[in-house]
């Protein structure tokens, strides 16, 4: 009897040691992923972008239309503050980008003063930091290159990778990022201090297994970014650009599957590739993206049901472009 108990105890100790060893190994592997530093190219672009030649031409035509041609006015834009106009338009574009596509509010809060990505202690506590100029804000000293590094490469100012999923932002153009910066800088300051991400044991194992993505590992850190988003004149090309914000969940091939780093209760993302949507109509697509309903009218589950908050803000032209790309492939 004693021998049996002793045997059992020994087994428990051995299993315990093996598990502890496996955990120590997983922990060091996980933290190793986040300790690695990534050299990222240095970029520069204006904030805000100045008015384009087309915008200036349209403005000239608009002003000239209101003038008496005999009055001899040489510069119709004299007295027009083009810089203030550029700033105003950049902030409006940035607001639209965040409301309709780029999900910064989801984790950084609707006021961007700090929010929650995941708050589940066994997995971890991951808070989006404060992006305003208030107390606890982290971007007050940010250069344009710092913004590029964190948003389009998933790399923090100290060169280390982060779990902030930037996979949806990899093909954001310079102008879009500049517009987002203009919008963020124009926000009222919020005083809120958020702690840095803290991993729990389950989160460390998921990170070690590769079930939580580190964008820095997949981004191309030297490839030049596009200066502008593609023109809306070609809906397929423009739609492909817009649909890049769907890849974080639906995968780069858009074929769906389990969502990396997502809540374990979420269903796998659906297949929304060209062949899967072959029998869909534009109306079916709008119902999914704007009303959160499947083709058969049943409600879509979380987290797709959250996406309708964004889908409803896309312009008709953007919805059509996204649909054209997804449907025609
Ligand atoms: C899914 C959640 C999530 C989304 C979406 C998200 N972030 Fe973050 N972000 C985080 C987390 C978590 C951190 C803290 C990362 C860390 O310290 O490792 C962070 C950190 C940051 C930082 C500070 C980095 C530093 O260390 O100085 C900036 C700037 C930032 N995010 C900007 C953005 C912008 C802009 C967007 C939208 C284009 C965005 N984030 C979208 C979760 C998110
Ligand atoms: C946060 C993760 C997430 C994001 C981002 C996301 N989706 Fe989804 N999507 C899902 C999940 C999960 C489902 C499956 C929902 C269900 O089973 O009810 C889904 C389902 C769908 C469906 C329904 C497919 C069907 O067969 O019923 C469509 C259409 C769709 N998504 C389009 C998009 C588009 C377009 C985007 C980008 C603008 C997008 N999704 C972004 C997670 C996401």
Taking phi over 0 as left and psi of -120 to 50 as alpha, with beta for the rest, 115 belongs to: beta
pLDDT at 72 over 90: no
Is the distance from the beta carbon of residue 249 to the nearest atom of ligand 2 less than 6 Å? Answer: yes
Q: What is the distance in A from the centroid of ligand 1 to the CA of 164? A: 5
DSSP string over 69-108: GGG--S-TTTT--HHHHHHHHHHHHHHHHHHHT--HHHHH
Give tens-digit pLDDT for 124-163: 999 999 999 999 999 999 999 999 999 999 999 999 999 9
As a whole number of angstroms, the distance between CA 102 and CA 307 comes to 11
Q: What is the distance in A from the centroid of ligand 2 to the CA of 307? A: 8
Which atom of ligand 2 is closest in space to residue 276's alpha carbon?
A: 26
Give tens-digit pLDDT for 260-298: 888 778 999 999 999 999 999 999 999 999 999 999 999
State the ligand closest to the CA atom of 302. 2
| Most ligand 1 atoms within 8 A of CB, residue of 113, 129, 131, 244 to mutate | 129
pLDDT at 1 over 80: no
Burial track 83-113 (b if 16+ CB lie within 10 A, e otherwise): eebbbebbbebbbbbbebbbbbbbbbbebbb
Q: Is CATH 1.10.8 correct for 230-329?
A: no
Is the distance from the beta carbon of residue 151 to the nearest atom of ligand 1 less than 6 Å? Answer: yes
Give tens-digit pLDDT for 221-260: 999 999 999 999 999 999 999 999 999 999 999 999 999 8
What confidence tier does 74 reach under pLDDT thresholds 50, 70, 90? Answer: confident
Residues spanned by CATH 1.10.760.10 within the chain? 25-54+84-229
State the ligand closest to the CA atom of 268. 2
Average pLDDT over residues 87-100: 98
In CATH terms, the fold of domain 25-54+84-229 is Cytochrome Bc1 Complex; Chain D, domain 2 (1.10.760)
pLDDT at 7 over 90: no
């Amino acid at each position: 009897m004693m021998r049996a108990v002793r045997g059992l105890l020994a087994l428990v100790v051995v299993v315990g040691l093996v598990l502890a060893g496996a955990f120590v190994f997983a922990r060091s592997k996980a933290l190793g992923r986040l300790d690695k530093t990534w050299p990222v190219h240095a970029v520069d672009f204006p904030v805000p972008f100045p008015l384009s030649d087309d915008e200036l031409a349209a403005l000239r035509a608009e002003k000239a239309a209101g003038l008496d041609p005999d009055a001899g006015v040489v510069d119709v834009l004299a007295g027009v503050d083009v810089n203030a106009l550029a700033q105003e338009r950049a902030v409006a574009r940035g607001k639209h980008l965040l409301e309709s596509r780029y999900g910064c509010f989801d984790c950084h809060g609707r006021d961007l003063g700090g929010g929650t990505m995941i708050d589940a202690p066994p997995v971890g506590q991951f808070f989006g930091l404060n992006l305003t100029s208030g107390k606890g804000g982290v971007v007050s000293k940010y250069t344009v290159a710092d913004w590029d590094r964190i948003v389009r490469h998933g790399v923090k100012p100290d060169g280390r990778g982060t779990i902030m999923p930037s996979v949806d932002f990899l093909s954001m153009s310079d102008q879009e990022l500049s517009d987002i910066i203009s919008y963020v800088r124009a926000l009222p300051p919020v005083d809120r201090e958020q702690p840095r991400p803290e991993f729990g044991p389950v989160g460390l194992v998921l990170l070690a297994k590769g079930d939580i993505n580190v964008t820095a590992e997949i981004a191309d850190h030297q490839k030049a970014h596009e200066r502008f988003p593609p023109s809306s004149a070609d809906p397929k090309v423009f739609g492909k650009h817009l649909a890049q914000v769907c890849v974080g969940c639906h995968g780069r091939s858009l074929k769906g599957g389990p969502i990396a780093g997502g809540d374990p209760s979420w269903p796998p993302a659906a297949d929304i590739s060209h062949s899967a949507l072959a029998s869909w109509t534009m109306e079916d697509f709008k119902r999914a993206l704007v009303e959160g309903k499947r083709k058969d009218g049943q409600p879509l589950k979380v987290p797709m049901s959250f996406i309708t908050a964004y889908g409803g803000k896309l312009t008709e032209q953007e919805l059509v472009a996204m649909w054209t790309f997804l449907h025609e492939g």
